[in-house]
């Protein structure tokens, strides 16, 4: 592809950048978009920006080629290209919805918005232009930029497609032009094999192989044109399954066949199935290849008779039967769940929770138990919901953090947004409760206790200092009236609850949960409704922004599930393999493994 001479600098400066490509082999049904969104979120929470290239839903492009044949046999390639490209547009829009639902800042872009051009046969075209500066603007404003693969604008024909499997080519070109650190092609197999593993059980999985070997071995798994383009552009390809740590890498150098690996199914005890727990249950059901679910602990199993997703029990012993590997605590409260989690951790059971009250109050006890039991204790969702605040301060540990502040309570933010629109306090609170954002005891949100719990955890993570929530000064929402909001609006300001902590000379940390007007230009002013935002200042004075939705079923469940998947991956790396066969990641029946994306 021709270089267009545009500077790559804006993109290089933006962040670590990753191109992810989801093929039709993994986008098998509408539920798969939630899993693809979860996979994208995993990269974002690890500090990468993502360009997400999508294929059409499985089988849809075949259907469109058939339609083109039925309605327009013998018609021009450009007329047929206009039809067969539509699956990718629909898929990109679905991916945008799935990401927005979990609170990721996502932007869906059509080819013409980023000057993506192809030339040659409109049904088998080659990409020839991409406006990198326009792409950089999109990347600047979003954590995930979603692009329909396989299709581009065409100077003469108007629209073109890139040949079967062309989404791989789109991904390679975006990686080459954006200077992305990696391009990962997500398939329904965990890499490239020496032979079709469905037919030959002795087929080996390559850890790495060069482009020429990939052309021979891929057998349509990766588009040939994409492999050639990757070689020409010096792009290293990763071929991986959804949610997997391992990948086959295609790059110059000798081929290496890896040791056979597999992933052990982990037994999960899910305690609590309210709004968030129910979202977690949906994820777990989609990954039955990785997780086996015990009966789910709920107060009233008799009220779950119509819910076919799991069996339900009110008996703790049943929920914890069979020695679970992983306990997911979604019960609420502080002391009881903390005692239960501590026992589990001490017994070597990994624990994931979103329970900020329990984590804030029993931080040392829980971490000590995890250390003693050799278990992992994860609670990303406890702070910021789907906004990766804990991950961000942990990532900055080598540099050090000097201050952190943020909008950390979705309910308070929701109420303040509504008060600013003239709504009554009680109506706004009732709406937040209806939407599942608010705590069981609304004073936790209204009086700043929930934000203080989250801040107390962040202070531990950022500064390694114990500052219990009750020692953090808090202002109550009940002090804020619609008149105060209106007066602030006249000055071009908006009220926000802001939890902040900062190092003071001598090494101590000060903290508060404030409610104050901020200018509309302030980054927190744009946080609407249940959105959370944080600004983390590192010890070099650089400010790192974090975005996401801080409350609600889907964002919170996404963060819980991301923790679960981290634990799953780590146990696979620990040699927890019991299977020598390649992992088939979909809950669908196994299909031939080496198939086109």
Which residues are known catalytic residues?
454
Which listed residue (290, 551, 558, 597) binds ligand HSE by CB under 6 A?
Answer: 551
CB nearer to ligand HSE: pick between 126 and 445: 445
445 binds ligand HSE (CB under 6 A): yes
Which listed residue (447, 450, 461, 538) binds ligand HSE by CB under 6 A?
Answer: 450
CB nearer to ligand HSE: pick between 95 and 354: 354
438 binds ligand HSE (CB under 6 A): yes
Closest contact distance (angstroms) between CB of 536 and ligand HSE is: 18
As given in the structure block, the two tokens for residue 140 are 């600047």
As given in the structure block, the two tokens for residue 328 are 């997911």
CB nearer to ligand HSE: pick between 157 and 366: 366
Output DSSP code: residue 448.
S
409 binds ligand HSE (CB under 6 A): yes
CB nearer to ligand HSE: pick between 222 and 494: 494
469 binds ligand HSE (CB under 6 A): no
Closest contact distance (angstroms) between CB of 406 and ligand HSE is: 11
* Contact partners, residue 268, CB within 8 Å, separation at least 6: 284, 291, 292, 293, 294, 324, 325, 326, 327, 328, 564
550 binds ligand HSE (CB under 6 A): yes
Outline where 32-165 has alpha helix (H): 32-45, 60-72, 77-84, 86-101, 132-141
406 binds ligand HSE (CB under 6 A): no
As given in the structure block, the two tokens for residue 215 are 């052309």
DSSP H helix total and E strand total for the chain: 21, 26
410 binds ligand HSE (CB under 6 A): yes
Beta pairing, strands 237-241 & 182-187 = parallel
Answer for the pair 231, 211: CB distance below 8 angstroms, yes or no.
yes
| Nearest of 188, 156, 229 to residue 21 by alpha carbon | 188
Output DSSP code: residue 234.
T
Provide the edge-to-edge strand list for the sheet that holds 543-549.
473-474, 509-519, 493-503, 401-407, 531-538, 543-549
Phi and psi of 299, rounded to 5°?
-70, -40
Q: Token match 């940390």: residue? A: 509
Contact segment (CB under 6 A) with ligand HSE among 84-92, 117-125, 235-243, 436-444 equals 436-444
Beta pairing, strands 206-209 & 256-257 = antiparallel
Which listed residue (385, 406, 517, 582) binds ligand HSE by CB under 6 A?
Answer: 385
Contact segment (CB under 6 A) with ligand HSE among 438-446, 462-470, 478-486, 521-529 equals 438-446
Size of the site for ligand HSE (CB under 6 A): 11
Closest contact distance (angstroms) between CB of 383 and ligand HSE is: 8
Closest contact distance (angstroms) between CB of 491 and ligand HSE is: 27
C-alpha to C-alpha distance for 205 and 242, rounded to whole angstroms: 16
Closest contact distance (angstroms) between CB of 560 and ligand HSE is: 12
Closest contact distance (angstroms) between CB of 526 and ligand HSE is: 17
Positive or negative CA dihedral for 442, 414, 32, 59? positive
Closest contact distance (angstroms) between CB of 338 and ligand HSE is: 17
Contact segment (CB under 6 A) with ligand HSE among 48-56, 252-260, 395-403, 408-416 equals 408-416
CB nearer to ligand HSE: pick between 373 and 555: 555
Report the SS3 class of residue 449: helix
Contact segment (CB under 6 A) with ligand HSE among 130-138, 289-297, 418-426, 431-439 equals 431-439
Closest contact distance (angstroms) between CB of 356 and ligand HSE is: 6
Phi and psi of 291, rounded to 5°?
-130, 130
Contact segment (CB under 6 A) with ligand HSE among 78-86, 406-414, 457-465, 578-586 equals 406-414
CB nearer to ligand HSE: pick between 167 and 411: 411
Contact segment (CB under 6 A) with ligand HSE among 158-166, 234-242, 434-442, 515-523 equals 434-442
388 binds ligand HSE (CB under 6 A): no
Three-point CA angle 142, 100, 485, nearest 5°: 85
* Contact partners, residue 511, CB within 8 Å, separation at least 6: 455, 456, 459, 467, 472, 473, 499, 500, 501, 502
Based on its alpha-carbon atoms, the radius of gyration of the chain, rounded to whole angstroms, reads 25
CB nearer to ligand HSE: pick between 261 and 474: 474
Three-point CA angle 559, 563, 568, nearest 5°: 140
CB nearer to ligand HSE: pick between 92 and 551: 551
Outline where 329-474 has alpha helix (H): 335-346, 356-361, 363-373, 389-395, 410-420, 425-434, 443-446, 449-463
Answer for the pair 238, 257: CB distance below 8 angstroms, yes or no.
no
Binding mask 245-284 for ligand HSE (x = CB under 6 A): ----------------------------------------
Closest contact distance (angstroms) between CB of 274 and ligand HSE is: 11
CB nearer to ligand HSE: pick between 310 and 357: 357
* Contact partners, residue 464, CB within 8 Å, separation at least 6: none
Closest contact distance (angstroms) between CB of 440 and ligand HSE is: 9
CB nearer to ligand HSE: pick between 33 and 561: 561
CB nearer to ligand HSE: pick between 438 and 565: 438
Q: Token match 């979990």: residue? A: 102
Q: Token match 């050090």: residue? A: 400
Closest contact distance (angstroms) between CB of 439 and ligand HSE is: 4
Which listed residue (439, 447, 538, 563) binds ligand HSE by CB under 6 A?
Answer: 439
Q: Point out which residues bind ligand HSE (CB under 6 A).
A: 385, 409-411, 437-439, 445, 450, 550-551
């Amino acid at each position: 592809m021709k270089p267009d001479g545009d500077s790559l600098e804006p993109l290089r400066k933006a962040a670590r950048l990753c191109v992810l490509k989801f093929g039709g082999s993994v986008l098998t049904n509408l539920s798969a978009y939630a899993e693809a969104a979860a996979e994208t979120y995993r990269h974002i929470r690890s500090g990468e920006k993502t360009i997400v290239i999508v294929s059409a839903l499985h089988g849809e492009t075949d259907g469109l080629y058939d339609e083109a044949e039925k309605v327009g046999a013998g018609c021009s390639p450009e007329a047929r290209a206009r039809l067969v490209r539509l699956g990718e547009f629909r898929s990109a829009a679905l991916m945008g919805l799935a990401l927005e639902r979990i609170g990721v800042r996502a932007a869906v872009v059509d080819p013409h918005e980023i000057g993506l051009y192809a030339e040659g046969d409109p049904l088998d075209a080659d990409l020839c232009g991409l406006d990198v500066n326009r792409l950089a603007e999109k990347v600047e404003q979003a954590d995930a930029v979603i692009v329909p693969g396989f299709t581009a604008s065409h100077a003469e024909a108007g629209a073109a497609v890139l040949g079967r499997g062309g989404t791989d080519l789109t991904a390679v070109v975006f990686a080459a032009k954006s200077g992305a650190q990696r391009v990962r092609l997500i398939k329904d197999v965990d890499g490239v094999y020496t032979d079709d593993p469905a037919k030959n059980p002795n087929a080996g999985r390559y850890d790495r192989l060069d482009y020429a070997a990939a052309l021979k071995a891929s057998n349509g798994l990766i588009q040939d044109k994409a492999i050639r383009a990757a070689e020409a552009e010096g792009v290293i390809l990763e071929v991986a399954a959804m949610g997997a740590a391992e990948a086959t890498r295609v790059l110059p150098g000798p081929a290496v066949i890896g040791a056979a690996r597999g992933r052990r199914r982990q037994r999960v005890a899910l305690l609590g199935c309210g709004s968030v727990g129910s979202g977690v249950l949906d994820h777990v059901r989609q990954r039955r290849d990785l997780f086996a679910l015990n009966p789910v602990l709920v107060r009233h199993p008799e009220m779950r008779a119509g819910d076919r997703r799991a069996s339900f029990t009110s008996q703790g012993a049943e929920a914890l039967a069979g020695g679970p590997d992983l306990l997911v605590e979604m019960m609420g409260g502080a002391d009881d769940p903390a005692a239960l989690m501590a026992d589990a951790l001490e017994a070597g059971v990994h624990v994931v929770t979103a329970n900020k009250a329990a984590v804030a109050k029993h931080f040392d006890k829980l971490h000590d138990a995890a250390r003693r039991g050799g278990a992992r204790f994860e609670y990303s969702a406890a702070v910021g919901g789907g906004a990766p605040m804990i991950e961000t301060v942990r990532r900055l540990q080598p540099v050090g953090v000097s201050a952190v502040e943020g909008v950390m309570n979705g309910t308070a933010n929701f109420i303040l947004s509504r008060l600013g629109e003239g709504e009554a306090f009680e109506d706004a609170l009732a709406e937040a409760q209806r939407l599942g954002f608010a705590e069981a005891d609304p004073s936790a949100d209204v009086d700043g206790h929930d934000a203080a719990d989250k801040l107390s955890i962040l202070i531990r993570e950022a500064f390694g200092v114990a500052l219990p929530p009750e020692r953090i000064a808090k202002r109550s929402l009940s002090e804020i009236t619609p008149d105060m909001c209106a007066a602030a609006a006249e000055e071009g300001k908006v009220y926000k609850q802001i939890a902040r902590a900062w190092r003071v000379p001598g090494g101590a940390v000060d903290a508060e949960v404030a409610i104050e007007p901020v200018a509309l230009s302030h980054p927190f002013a744009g946080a609407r409704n249940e959105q959370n935002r944080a600004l983390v200042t590192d010890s070099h004075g650089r400010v790192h922004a974090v975005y996401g939705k801080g409350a609600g079923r889907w964002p919170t469940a996404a963060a819980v599930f991301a923790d679960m998947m981290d634990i799953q991956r780590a146990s696979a790396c620990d040699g927890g393999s019991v299977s020598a066969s390649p992992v088939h990641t979909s809950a669908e029946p196994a299909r031939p493994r080496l198939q086109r994306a």
